[in-house]
């Protein structure tokens, strides 16, 4: 069953669903691009790996909810003529969690250089003060100083936008395309929750024309092939909440589809 929304479904931003959608969308983009880029280019998936601890503000996005209770073990019997030892107390100690975030790279075929990096942002990349955001910004600077193009796809309404010298246009979603030849100027595609996702240009080597990526098609295929209609409950409101006007528009769509 297709999504009732014309573009990005705002309910997919739910904390428990986003990691799976994120990974599936990246795979879908690869399937759409690879046949059109062969045989000169190869679309690969890399993973950025970092550690977070319990104090990281983005931990709730990557670690399932758990509750931990301190338990006092029964005291050992007292030795003859001696004092009984105190019972051991089990407490939660600081523990780091490994986080793996995928990104796509377009390389020259057969081990060629990286031509284009395509990032789909995750909630941790947009959480102020998180290790995920720090790691992402470091990798972002590396790409922007390299001979590779960069596409940053932000399909999350929540969190902080990426830093830019000039303010990004107000929008729910946006894509930044940074071409080597025109840096520091970048192209920004911005749209609202009511709009279809745009068709994006994928820059390649000098002399090769851009290849287009229908982002809306990638989102639609990910939703339908993964059957998100089975899991999503449209009776509640998405998080973060929509504006009053957009909420009324979404309610009308959902009622017309028989989902409310």
Ranges of each domain in the chain: 10-60+96-256
pLDDT of residue 61 exceeding 70: no
Query: Which pLDDT value is given to residue 65?
Result: 39
Sorted by sequence, the CB contacts under 8 Å of residue 163 that are 6+ apart come out as: 137
pLDDT in tens, 90-118: 655 555 565 567 889 999 999 899 999 99
Determine the distance from the C-alpha atom of residue 83 to the mean position of all C-alpha atoms in its chain, rounded to a whole number.
57
CA count, 13 A, side-chain hemisphere, 133? 17
How many angstroms separate the CA atoms of 205 and 237, rounded? Answer: 44
Q: Is the pTM of this model over 0.85?
A: no
pLDDT of residue 58 exceeding 90: no
Q: Which residues of 159-176 are buried (b: 16+ CB within 10 A; e: fewer)?
A: beebeeeeeeeebbbbbb
């Amino acid at each position: 069953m297709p999504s009732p929304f014309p573009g990005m479904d705002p309910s997919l931003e739910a904390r428990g669903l986003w990691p799976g959608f994120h990974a599936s969308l990246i795979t879908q983009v690869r399937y759409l691009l690879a046949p059109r880029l062969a045989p000169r280019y190869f679309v690969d998936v890399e993973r950025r790996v970092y550690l977070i601890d319990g104090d990281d503000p983005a931990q709730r996005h990557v670690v399932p909810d758990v509750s931990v209770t301190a338990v006092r073990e029964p005291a050992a019997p007292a030795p003859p003529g001696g004092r009984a030892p105190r019972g051991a107390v089990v407490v939660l100690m600081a523990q780091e969690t490994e986080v793996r975030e995928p990104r796509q790279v377009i390389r020259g075929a057969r081990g060629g250089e990286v031509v284009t990096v395509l990032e789909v942002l995750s909630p941790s990349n947009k959480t102020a003060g998180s290790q995920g955001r720090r790691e992402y910004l470091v990798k972002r600077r590396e790409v922007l100083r390299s001979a590779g193009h960069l596409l940053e796809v932000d399909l999350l309404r929540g969190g902080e936008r990426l830093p830019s010298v000039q303010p990004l246009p107000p929008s729910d979603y946006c894509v930044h395309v940074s071409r080597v030849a025109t840096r520091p100027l970048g192209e920004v595609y911005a749209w609202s929750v009511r709009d279809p996702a745009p068709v994006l240009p994928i820059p390649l080597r000098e002399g090769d024309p851009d290849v287009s990526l229908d982002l809306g098609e990638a989102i639609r295929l990910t939703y339908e092939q993964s059957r998100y209609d089975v899991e999503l409950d449209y009776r509640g409101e998405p998080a973060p909440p929509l504006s009053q006007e957009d909420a009324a528009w979404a309610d009308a769509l959902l009622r017309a589809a028989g989902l409310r």
